Structure 1
Amino acid sequence: MTDTMINPSPAPAPRAAVLDDAHVGDIRGALGTIKLDDTAPRKGLSAKLKTLLAIVGPGLIVMVGDNDAGAFATYGQAGQNYGTRLLWTLLLLVPVLYVNQEMVLRLGAVTGVGHARLILERFGKFWGAFSVIDLFLLNALTIVTEFIGVALAVGYLGLPKTASVLVAAAVVILAASTGSFRRFERTAIALCLGSLLLVPIYFMIHPSTGTMAHDFVVPGMPKDSKLSDVMLLIIGIVGTTVAPWQLFFQQSYVIDKRITPRFMKYEKADLWLGIVVVVIGAAAIMGFTAAAFTGTKEFGNFDDAIGIAHGLEANAGRVAGVLFAIALLDASIIGASAVSLSTAYALGDVLGLKHSLHRGIGGAKAFYAIFAGVVLLAAVIVIVPGSPLGLITEGVQTLAGVLLPSASVFLLLLCNDKAVLGPWVNGRWTNMFTSLVVAVLVCLSIILTAAVLFPDITTGAILDIMAVCGVAGLLALGYAETRRRKKGWAMAAPVDRAGKENWRMPPLEELPKPIISTGRKVGLTALRTYLLAAMILVIVRIVQLALGH
């Protein structure tokens, strides 16, 4: 017998859909390396810890990156205007954050294809184009707000605005342009650690622990406050905490880090680490801002993030204000890096460009040109005299809230596409929870759009909108159940998860063409029509405000 007969060659591994060959190879994380051929089971605490350290990065960066300049302002406004009465919103957002980002990291690890490209391939050019256009517009404005944060921070610290903003832009660009994924991730994680500066500020101001604990777990509304104003701020908290760019960034970053399904549980731990850090930071801002301004004439009169720094200085000394300004500067830089990368990744995916931090500038010129271009454009807008920075900040928060449902809907549909995720598709409970989240986001989006178009909207009108949304949701649920019974459709059978650790999505050209039902087409068309109309109306309203009408 020949050696071939005795020791047959192993069957070739099935082809995967990874679009950039730089996305295949060793995992070279900031805190460790995992070789491509290292398939040994992780036994013992030491081995598991080393693996976790190598994987840590995507979840932590995407979460801390969302505690950016806009988040500092939103959480600070909540604390300065309403004390700690809105802390409970953070607790309610924890499962939303986890479920959304867990679905995204699952898509990245299993498919090897970015979020924008999957939408393009599975829903067509029309939907893919709208998703990328939405993302590009919102991201461009968001990056401007990050450099507004830089300008505010350096102004408080007494540094020159123009030079500091340009230096910050150069730091963002250089950190991502070395051709080393590991160098970028080490820089990003160092910035993440910088966000912990909020913790000593909290202890310097020492807000009431009992009040904080109560308001964190017991939902309530601020007393003697206009409900419409409170509702809009809650929508702002949701929009700044569950931002659309996060979905595109984490999926592409997981792919670029070369994480595969076999490391899913470690990546979930990384995500939980990021969620814990972001909630601690947000709660700290609300807590120490509330404590610093309660009983002062500035309470209820939020202006901007640096107004918080001055309030902290008046309450606890210059050091507290300086620490806050440095934390704001740190948050703005990591936010600018993550949002800019999500833009470059998405366009690289859709346009078929080489797009990886493992490549140097010479190996991915267009990718780095897009990344550097959006960063420099945002920095220039901030330093140009007369730029409507306040309106841009307001516009970003509004557009983010309006566009939230779109990203979540496509995410939910992709995670139920068996051709894409195979044994990794959503289970029944995940679908039920995510569908509820999407319904709530649609309702909040409608309220926000109405509030922008009608600034004097009454509390009664908001409650009417919520009631109509609730009735519409129940009718839609009833229609779906009636249709299921009429057609004789059974409830979804349990998914066969066998062998999922080694399952990867085949190349895109080998996937069967998706079948989109008439009902789904009608629903998607209605959602897109609403979102497009709402986005146009919001932009028109912002332009009117800019022109003084």
Structure 2
Amino acid sequence: MKDEDTKDADGTIAPPSPQASTWLSKLGPGLITGAADDDPSGIATYSQGGAQFGFNLLWTLLLTYPLMAAIQVISAHIGRVTGRGLATNLQRFAPRHVVWGIVGLLLIANVINIAADVAAMGEAMALILPGRPLWYAVGFGVLSVLLQVFIPYQRYVNLLKWLTLVLLAYVATVFVVHVPWGEVLQSTVWPRIAWNKAYLTTIVAVFGTTISPYLFFWQASQEVEELRADDDARPLRHAPEQVQRQFSRIRFDTLVGMAVSNAVAFFIMLTTAATLHAQGVRDLTSAAQAASALKPVAGELAFALFALGIVGTGLLAIPVLAGSAAYAMAGTFHWKSSLGSEFSAARKFYAIIIVATLAGVGVNFMPLDPIKALYWSAVLNGVIAVPVMTIMMLVASSSRIMGELTIAPRLRVLGWLCTGVMAAATIAMFASFLAR
């Protein structure tokens, strides 16, 4: 959405002021990125954490918020300052074969994640309506492809914005179940930490689910899309008069988006802790199973809200997973990449979206355990996250790439802290795998 231009007394056009925009118009890439993080796979992880450990993992979502927000702001800055996507910028700092390897692993991880998400959506829909989960999954995959290929970019982005409202389903479930708020507060600020393999592995899973590489690529690329959609906008490195306004918008958009992401994850964990854990249900294997388990414990309304939320978040997340893979591939091989382009003008870019989505759907026809699929997705994301974040931090701190708009010291500290935490989480994840 463009701001209205205003004229100075001498008749020249003045740049739009921050006050000219409503707060809603400032929400875009950050909000969609944050909401897409709460995909059905993430819902399964948060549900399992709540069911298994009650309220004693809620603290993790307070810790992930500032780290996740910082790294996403950095990725957005890279896109807006340079006018290029993340993969293109990574190649300016790292050897080409390293970037190719990272992007290849990202594509594989995203396909597996799409497979797990469409499977969960199909299972959730089958809980509500009659029909086979597999064919619902196929329908959702095809629908996602059609929306991305045939809906104009600005209309599609607005559709994704409105889809974020489905996350309110998980806020609503908290108010239809009994929650001991005093115990919640105590456990959140003073949790009983269990130094055992299961607890530590779940912490790693929460971090890996919340801070995911595909989100970095998506948000940076969406900033580039926003540039292309506005005739008056230019990469900030060449438009210093726009810096303050755009950085302010990015900060607001991302802080709100990541707050939504972490708050919804908090409510999912809280709901399952207050119901399933309290009733002795400890082991969940999918988001759909979490919804089904809620029915006898928390009632029909909580069950319906939870199940519908799985479908809605999947419709939001699948385009982000497929789109981030396409942006990464296109940036790596210098293909034209824009959701605002016609199919004929960006065939390779759209081909990746189509292939990634349909390949994810196709995985569900294979004799593959969805939990094992998520396991390997987590492994691949762990492999990818730390080198991507390391190179991102070097890019964002490079005056050769960012000019005078290298990231501020506070962002630099938080970014490296996030990188260190993810490195520790990844090491812990692999240690837990080797200990099996």
TM-score (structure 1 length as normaliser) = 0.72
Match of 1:320 among 283, 297, 302: 302
Larger mean Cα displacement after TM superposition, 229-238 or 121-130: 121-130
Gaps of 5+ in 2: 8-12, 228-232, 237-241
Aligned partner of 1:485 in structure 2 is none
Note the alpha carbon deviations across 1:228-277, whole angstroms, 9 max, x for none.
11011000000000001111111011101216542221121111111121
Change (3 A) 1:44 1:444: closer
Q: Secondary structure at the match of 1:139?
A: helix
The yes-or-no answer on 1:436 pairing with 2:417 is yes
Q: Following TM superposition, by how much is the alpha carbon of 1:287 offset from its aligned partner in structure 2, in angstroms? A: 0.9
Aligned partner of 1:33 in structure 2 is 2
Q: Following TM superposition, by how much is the alpha carbon of 1:54 offset from its aligned partner in structure 2, in angstroms? A: 3.3
Note the alpha carbon deviations across 1:478-517, whole angstroms, 9 max, x for none.
xxxxxxxxxxxxxxxxxxxxxxxxxxxxxxxxxxxxxxxx
Aligned partner of 2:94 in structure 1 is 123
- Residues in 2 aligned to 1:286 and 1:210: alpha-carbon distance in whole angstroms: 16
Change (3 A) 1:95 1:379: same
- Residues in 1 aligned to 2:208 and 2:21: alpha-carbon distance in whole angstroms: 35
- Residues in 2 aligned to 1:100 and 1:37: alpha-carbon distance in whole angstroms: 34
- Given that residues 405 and 441 in structure 1 are in contact (C-alpha distance below 8 angstroms), is that contact kept between their aligned partners in structure 2? yes
The yes-or-no answer on 1:265 pairing with 2:248 is yes
Aligned partner of 1:146 in structure 2 is 117
- Given that residues 55 and 184 in structure 2 are in contact (C-alpha distance below 8 angstroms), is that contact kept between their aligned partners in structure 1? yes
Change (3 A) 1:242 1:397: same
Aligned partner of 2:10 in structure 1 is none
Aligned partner of 2:392 in structure 1 is 411
The yes-or-no answer on 1:190 pairing with 2:162 is yes
The yes-or-no answer on 1:77 pairing with 2:48 is yes
The yes-or-no answer on 1:392 pairing with 2:373 is yes
- Residues in 2 aligned to 1:40 and 1:227: alpha-carbon distance in whole angstroms: 60
Q: Following TM superposition, by how much is the alpha carbon of 1:327 offset from its aligned partner in structure 2, in angstroms? A: 0.3
Q: Following TM superposition, by how much is the alpha carbon of 1:398 offset from its aligned partner in structure 2, in angstroms? A: 3.0
| Alignment map for 1:334-353 (pairs within 5 Å) | 334-353=316-335
Identity in percent: 23
RMSD of the alignment, in Å?
2.1
- Residues in 2 aligned to 1:36 and 1:100: alpha-carbon distance in whole angstroms: 32
Letter in 1 for 2:141: A
Q: Secondary structure at the match of 2:390?
A: helix
- Given that residues 288 and 310 in structure 2 are in contact (C-alpha distance below 8 angstroms), is that contact kept between their aligned partners in structure 1? no
Aligned partner of 1:248 in structure 2 is 217
Letter in 2 for 1:291: A
Letter in 1 for 2:386: P
Aligned partner of 1:96 in structure 2 is 67
Q: Following TM superposition, by how much is the alpha carbon of 1:180 offset from its aligned partner in structure 2, in angstroms? A: 1.3
- Residues in 1 aligned to 2:110 and 2:249: alpha-carbon distance in whole angstroms: 29
Gaps of 5+ in 1: 1-31, 456-549
Letter in 1 for 2:374: T
Larger Rg: 1
Letter in 1 for 2:109: L
Q: Following TM superposition, by how much is the alpha carbon of 1:71 offset from its aligned partner in structure 2, in angstroms? A: 0.8
By relative contact order (CA 8 Å, sep 6+), the higher-ranking structure is 2
Alignment coverage as a number of residue pairs: 416
Letter in 2 for 1:242: I
Larger mean Cα displacement after TM superposition, 402-411 or 239-248: 402-411
Aligned partner of 1:283 in structure 2 is 266
TM-score (structure 2 length as normaliser) = 0.90
Letter in 2 for 1:319: L
- Residues in 1 aligned to 2:366 and 2:196: alpha-carbon distance in whole angstroms: 36
Q: Following TM superposition, by how much is the alpha carbon of 1:41 offset from its aligned partner in structure 2, in angstroms? A: 4.3
Q: Secondary structure at the match of 1:359?
A: coil
Aligned partner of 2:230 in structure 1 is none
- Residues in 2 aligned to 1:168 and 1:416: alpha-carbon distance in whole angstroms: 41
